[in-house]
Amino acid sequence: MRACLVLPTFNEAPNLEALLAAVRKAVPALGILVVDDRSPDGTGVLAEQLAARDRRLAVLHRDGPRGFGGALTAGFRRALAEGAEAIVTMDGDFSHDPAEIPRLLAALEEATSSSARATRGAAPSRRGRCTDGC
């Protein structure tokens, strides 16, 4: 399955390199799309520098209104246009654990799953597959 992580960012320069390294450790071949909303702290510039060394990392710079929802929408559109069969999202501040990505992708590969989600702080028995149209 061809999967892409859509990572909306705004002022995430202090976290970005370590976060991307953690994602690579969890899923080395995962495509990553950083969607940056003109971060004044240089997140977009740093993302471009990192993308120059990683062919599976791309950067989308957004102009116009900022916002998480708009960044996700733009990222989904780009990922789907480039052939993604699965899209993973997470925040750029380590509030989501990159080590969970393989489990989410495995759930999507099961015939009974069309979506999967993990939630922060939920007990392990309550995390996992979402089969109720979430």
Three-class secondary structure of residue 13 per DSSP: helix
What Å distances lie between residue 53 and 16, 65, 84, 125, CA to CA?
A: 14, 29, 21, 39
Instruction: Flag the least confident range among 36-45, 67-76, 115-124.
Output: 115-124
| pLDDT band for position 113 (cuts 50, 70, 90) | low
Mean pLDDT of 86-96: 92
Question: Could you tell me the sign of the dihedral formed by the alpha carbons of 73, 108, 122, 88, in that order?
Answer: negative
Look up residue 65 and give its two tokens.
Answer: 């209104």
Does pLDDT of 99 surpass 80? yes
Tokens 């989904």, residue located: 76
Q: Which domains does the chain have, with CATH numbers?
A: 3-99 (3.90.550.10)
Task: Please answer whether residues 33 and 4 qualify as being in contact, where contact means their C-beta atoms are separated by less than 8 angstroms.
Answer: yes
For helices 101-109 and 13-26, the axis angle rounded to 10 degrees is 50
What Å distances lie between residue 126 and 8, 37, 40, 122, 129, CA to CA?
A: 26, 33, 38, 6, 9
Does pLDDT of 124 surpass 70? no
| pLDDT band for position 120 (cuts 50, 70, 90) | low
Mean pLDDT of 94-100: 93
Does pLDDT of 110 surpass 60? yes
Does pLDDT of 134 surpass 50? no
- What pTM, to 2 d.p., does this model score? 0.86
